[in-house]
């Protein structure tokens, strides 16, 4: 056992259960076993994290940039490295860099950056999330209207071919897209998430039946839940097959609204940061205002890390810590069809672990 890495802490959350006085044995970056500490051999070297909690690492499926490097403005490997480092500091071993509504040229440069990042051994980046431009201008939020338009089938096909293997999620307004467009995106193996949409409840439910799998940042930039027209928000709450991301920063959604959504959606709701970074160049200029970002006076992104998101879910939304951890790890892995290798500390799973504490500064990716 001497060649193995062994991690212990007072508590371990496996993604399925809480364990006390147990050890995680790692071999070749995979979890070999989880056993009681008393079963460890005496000569083994142990990494002891004491009062910290060992848990599966987080996954952030929507983040735009970090440390002054907004990906859409700086579509290069350095931006992805900065973004990955920011995510790691917040306990996220994996992320999905996101580009908001923009030109196809910018999308392609961001796709090229991911390919270059991978070719040089870059880790942590799962692909890319394109948020727009096929959204509803009535619900564009901070997105620039000059780039917003309904898609032609030919341009969708070209973009999918260019980003084959890189594009993982596309956020679009289903009422702005034909069934042929939806079918084409689904056939490419890309997840469609409804967002920045003014869809009626009926339109939203029809899109779910036609291949839309998720909803982007629940409540924000979408037709709201009203008592006579439940809208996209109501449709997401009401459909037991649809997952939804949410931004638990207290600005994008009141904590009570997060708590209500969680009570209804249960394991279908997961957290994202939606984090941007300060920039004064290009079409999207984000300014840090307190602990959130604005552009032209409009709320444009969060200053969250995934660890902070998890703590907010616990401390402000009343969600049990294990379930909050799942919202930041197992459930995003499930949307990405990675829940057979990520999101749990379990034999055969990837050994992507964090030691996490109750303070925002106490989070370490192992």
Which residues have a catalytic role annotated?
274
Query: Smallest Cα–Cα separation from 6: which of 342, 353, 349?
Result: 353
From residue 327, alpha-carbon distances to 58, 266, 299 in Å are: 9, 9, 23
Can you read off the two tokens belonging to residue 73? 């403005």
Tokens representing 6?
A: 């062994």
Separation of alpha carbons 309 and 64, rounded Å: 16
Rg (alpha carbons) of the chain, rounded to whole number: 20
Sequence length of the chain is 366
Report whether 194 contacts 207 (CB < 8 A): yes
The Cβ-side half-sphere exposure at 147, using a 13 Å CA radius, reads 19
53: nearest Cα among 353, 339, 326, 272: 353
32/36 Cα distance (integer angstroms): 13
Token pair of 161, please?
């071919």
The strand pairing partners of 60, in sequence order, are: 95
CA-closest candidate to residue 244, choices 284, 204, 210: 204
Which residues make beta-bridge pairs with 169? 129, 191
Do the Cβ atoms of 85 and 97 come closer than 8 Å?
no
Q: At what angle do helices 321-328 and 306-315 cross, to 10 degrees?
A: 150
Contacts of 203 (CB under 8 A, 6+ apart): 174, 175
Query: What sign for the dihedral angle of Cα 339, 351, 111, 134?
Result: positive
Assigned token pair, 292: 């959130």
Contact, 289 vs 295, CB < 8 A?
Answer: no
């Amino acid at each position: 056992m001497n060649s193995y890495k062994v991690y212990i802490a007072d508590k371990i959350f496996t993604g399925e259960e809480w364990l006390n006085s147990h050890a995680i044995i790692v071999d070749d970056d995979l979890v070999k076993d989880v056993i009681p500490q008393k079963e460890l051999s005496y000569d083994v070297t142990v990494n002891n994290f004491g009062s910290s909690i060992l848990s599966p690492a987080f996954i952030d499926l929507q983040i735009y940039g970090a440390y002054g490097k907004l990906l859409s403005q700086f579509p290069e490997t350095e931006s992805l490295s900065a973004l990955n480092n920011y995510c790691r500091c917040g306990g996220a071993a994996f992320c999905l860099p996101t580009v908001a509504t923009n030109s196809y040229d910018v999308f392609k440069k961001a796709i090229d950056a991911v390919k270059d990042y991978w070719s040089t051994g870059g880790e942590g980046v799962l692909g890319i999330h394109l948020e727009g431009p096929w959204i509803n201008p009535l619900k564009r939020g901070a997105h620039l209207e000059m780039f917003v338009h309904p898609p032609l089938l030919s341009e969708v096909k070209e973009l999918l071919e260019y980003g084959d293997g890189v594009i993982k999620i596309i956020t679009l307004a289903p009422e702005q897209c034909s069934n042929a467009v939806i079918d084409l995106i689904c056939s490419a193996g890309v997840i469609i998430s409804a967002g920045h949409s003014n869809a009626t409840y009926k339109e939203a439910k029809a899109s779910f039946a036609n291949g839309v799998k998720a909803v982007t940042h629940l409540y924000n930039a979408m037709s709201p839940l009203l008592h006579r027209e439940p809208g996209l928000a109501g449709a997401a709450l009401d459909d037991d097959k649809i997952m939804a991301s949410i931004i638990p920063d207290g600005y994008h959604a009141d904590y009570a609204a997060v708590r209500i959504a969680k009570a209804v959606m249960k394991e279908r709701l997961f957290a994202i940061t939606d984090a941007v970074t300060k920039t004064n160049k290009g079409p999207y200029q984000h300014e840090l205002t307190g602990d959130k970002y604005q552009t032209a006076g409009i709320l444009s992104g969060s200053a969250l890390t995934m660890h902070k998101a998890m703590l907010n879910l616990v401390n402000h939304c009343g969600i049990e810590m294990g379930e909050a951890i799942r919202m930041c790890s197992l459930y995003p892995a499930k949307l990405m069809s990675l829940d057979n290798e990520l999101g749990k500390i379990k034999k055969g799973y990837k050994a992507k672990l964090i030691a996490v504490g109750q303070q925002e500064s106490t989070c370490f990716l192992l």
